[in-house]
Amino acid sequence: MSLSLLFLSSKLFSCLCLTLFQHHVTFSASNPTGLTLRAVLDDSPNSPLYLIENMTIAERIERFIQVTNAKDNYLNLNARVGPDKSNSLSRVVMARDGLFYSVWLLIGSQGQEVKLLMDTGGGLTWTQCQPCLNCFPQNLPIYDSRASTTYSTLSCDHPLCQVEGSLYTCVDDLCIFVHNYHGGLYTTGVASLETFYFPMDPSTALTFHNLVFGCSRDSRNVVFQDTELSGIFGMNMMPDSLMSQLSSFTNFRFSYCLVPFPDLIPHTLVLRFGDDIPLLPPERVKTTMFVHAPYLYNYYVNLVTISFLNYRLGFPPSQFQLREDGLGGCFVDSGYLLTAIEDNYVGGVNAYDVLMDLFTAYYESNNLRRTTDPSGLDMCFERPNDFNNFANLTFHFDGEADYFVPPQHLHIFQQVHFCVAITRGRYATVLGAWQQQNKRMLYDVGLGRLQFADENCAND
């Protein structure tokens, strides 16, 4: 069976995913259309990556910015990879949502506990498996496929293993996956089927049978070794992601609401699917459509222009459009800490420089003096005690969906200075997590749209 997974309209994408998975994925529970998972910030004591006991807010922000820059370098390389390259489908980035959130679940007939990095840009979900050729040390027991009566391997006849140039290939009658990552990260193993259990409370779990996942037998240069983490929880638009596989139960819909980052002990993130997503208030909800493009499975949207202090900037129509070389465009990604504005010249205009010049002119007109910050952010100023007249931005998305970023989510405030929380985008423009605080983000992939509304995320 020959399938092309490289460019899918919303409707065709839905049909393909149903064709791939509806014949074997089954579900056990009384409510098959809703699912709620809790993902913990790695800065929370509940997270396996808890590292900030002795870190200040400034040190945490500096680390997150380094992660954002590393991810931007990765995407800049992979945007130029064509359909015939094996890396074109390797979208999992270890240093993205993995350094922000982890998800807990059980797999197999033995109910093996696993903790996975939540990755909205990753496709295949994978975990380390015994028998293991080269496994990295993890603090939870490694899942043993031999001990599970519900485990099976994916047939080489399966459509996923028939796609040329993908991360799957048939070797000795086994469907093998290989992930190669920028920076030397690597994992490979057997594409498999297993039962997944998502605990709802101490006595209840939602059960999904025959989910496709990666049984990793060889992983190298992994950044989260010696923690409880054992793999990746993939949530992008690839047909092998859990978002896609659970689509008949969640209607291709998932949602989250990010509580403010400056909280010293962050709340957990609630990742909601299907009918468990709260209704957005009609008077406040904004809707824009996703932009689908070949070889790209991030959540792209059409950014028309930007307003600075409610002044609409006259960027050319092509400024934020996705280009034929895979560069440009704008996508929404909670894996980026800070919003990135592309700094390439498009039609003779550099959008990043334009914005930074406006911030400079505005704050200098208020007699504020430039300063530096150890995080490496470009635009920082000394903060007088009596100054509170900070700038704001509005991102104007297609469909008259105006995304307002208030001053507290546009800047990072330190004791004696503040910085504009925007970085250079060498690859694209990205709406990052810092600018998503206290907003309900609803990814309705089935209808090909993103919806958002202001919300107090602490109540989620």
Domain boundaries, the chain: 91-249, 286-459
Q: Which of 114-128, 188-202, 305-319 has the lowest mean pLDDT?
A: 114-128
* Cα separation, 208 vs 220, whole angstroms: 30
Residue 26 identity (one-letter amino acid): T
Cβ proximity of 309 and 362 under 8 Å:
yes
Residue 341 has pLDDT above 80, yes or no: yes
**pTM of the entire predicted model:** 0.78
In order, the DSSP letters of 85-116 are SGGGG----TTSGGGTEEEEEEETTTTEEEEE
Architecture of the domain delimited by 286-459? Beta Barrel (2.40)
Q: Which fold has domain 91-249?
A: Cathepsin D, subunit A; domain 1 (2.40.70)
**Region 68-83: what's the mean pLDDT?**
46
Cα-to-chain-centroid distance, residue 75? 13
Strand partners, 197: 106, 207
Per-range mean pLDDT, top range of 49-63, 194-208, 360-374: 360-374
- The continuous run of DSSP H or E covering 18 comes out as helix 10-21
What's the pLDDT band for 184 if we cut at 50, 70, 90? Answer: low
**Region 36-44: what's the mean pLDDT?**
63
pLDDT at 49: 45
Report which of residues 290 and 457 the model is more confident about. Answer: 290
What's the pLDDT band for 11 if we cut at 50, 70, 90? Answer: very low
> What's 162's DSSP letter?
G
pLDDT at 355: 96
**Region 131-141: what's the mean pLDDT?**
91
Report which of residues 126 and 123 the model is more confident about. Answer: 126
**Region 156-170: what's the mean pLDDT?**
84
**Region 182-202: what's the mean pLDDT?**
81
**Region 6-32: what's the mean pLDDT?**
43
Q: How far is CA 248 from CA 12, 118, 253, in A?
A: 15, 21, 10
Report which of residues 237 and 42 the model is more confident about. Answer: 237
pLDDT tens for 310-332 read 899 999 989 999 998 888 999 99
**Region 293-319: what's the mean pLDDT?**
90
Reading phi first (left if > 0) and then psi (alpha if -120 to 50, else beta), residue 238 is in beta
User: Matching CATH topology for 91-249 and 286-459?
Assistant: yes
pLDDT tens for 236-273 read 888 888 888 988 888 889 998 887 766 545 566 678 88
pLDDT at 68: 58
